[in-house]
Structure 1
């Protein structure tokens, strides 16, 4: 049931949001010269997939978790995209392809071994990673791997149709701060 909802909402989001995606892409060309950010992430069953987002940091920023990156790496457009969560829109493509869900644990990087181990112990990799979830609306990010894995496991165990929509609505209306970047 969730896969069908993911597919329908991702398709609608990409079609209806195309003008916004195009405008952000064009502005991104002027901001960084490379508006799309691609990064290999840990997917369902720990299989790699390439996550796509709008670039929010300068092109030469090291490939580390957001909480380990410096705020000086964030571009002017990137700050706006992060605040409005518009940087996440291209991930609808990952959802459409079945690599992600709208709701699920945020996909980590393979070099985040502590997070990967904590999630593995809690069975978090049994589901598709998501754009948003309980941790994101609760201001829990990847800087606290054990708490994040516990929160992800709790979300997975209690995921219902109601919670699915609650997480999406709370994200769209601005609950949570997203992935923090160090000062």
Structure 2
């Protein structure tokens, strides 16, 4: 296994759009059942707290969304359609309720199945609701710096599936690596 340096808490404790863009190229690592799964993050969406009508936090703090209002660098994992888990990373200061949704990964190691789309990403990485509230500075669940210094073109587009959110639907808060074949929807 190559040495992977975890991103520090301070990485997540910044502006959500900056964190979202800088997560591109980083590695998501999840060790479960003795298997280390690693995927390169290639697509994300930023959610900007209670004022963002597409964000779960827009309805305020609830038992489901409490993690979003906590400190940065924790996983918010929730179920959609009663089938798929989706994973967000909490960003900014405690109480801001901001997060970055992980939308697609490029498989690096032991990632089985499709990983393009937030539900498929979680399934391929073995992430489920047991990871909700997990600290991303854990030894078995973390985001690591990119192992290579790469120049990549980042594309900004509106988020997917948030047509109900009024003016927030058109905001360019989805980011992905241009030309990457694992992006869910170019």
Q: Same fold (TM over 0.5)?
A: no
Given the two structures, how large is their TM-score scaled by the length of structure 2? 0.27
* Structure number having the greater strand percentage: 2
Bigger RCO of structures 1 and 2 (CA < 8 A, at least 6 apart): 2
* Structure number having the greater helix percentage: 1
